[in-house]
Amino acid sequence: MNVRLEYAVAQCPEDKPYIESFFGSYKTEELYRNEYNSLAEARTEWESYRDWYCNDRLHQALWYKSPRDYAKVVCNRWPDLVQFNGVHLNRDTTLFCKMHAKC
């Protein structure tokens, strides 16, 4: 894996807006609604939430479709040129589709 860590400046949510949005959703949809009896239970619930968020949760940016359903539409209609939130995904379309729709 080629992973590079990036750090955001403290008290600056504009620095990494996508992860800030994700963690905001995580806290309001999962963390604040539940009590965990152990760290293992919290980790299990984190994995479950992350899987649901990345595959089945409806996203406003995807026209209120889940990433899995949106990828199916994308793979079927525009296999060569896709515009996703204003960003062209020419070479990433296949990866996006494989990750979410198994097409």
Q: What is the pLDDT of residues 15-57, one digit of tens each?
A: 777 778 888 899 999 999 999 999 999 999 999 998 898 888 9
| Rounded Cα distance, 98 and 16, in Å | 26
Structure token pair of residue 84:
């996703």
Q: List phi, psi (to 5°) of 17.
A: -65, -35
Q: What is the average pLDDT value for the chain, to the nearest integer?
A: 76
Question: Who wins on pLDDT, 32 or 97?
Answer: 32
pLDDT mean over 74-87: 58
Distance CA 42, CA 52 (A): 15
Residue where the block lists tokens 């994995």? 47
What confidence score (pLDDT) does residue 99 get? 52
What's the pTM? Answer: 0.62
Work out whether the CA dihedral 72, 50, 63, 81 comes out positive or negative: negative
80/6: higher pLDDT = 6
Contact 30, 17 (CB under 8 A): no
Confidence at 103, pLDDT banded by 50, 70, 90: very low
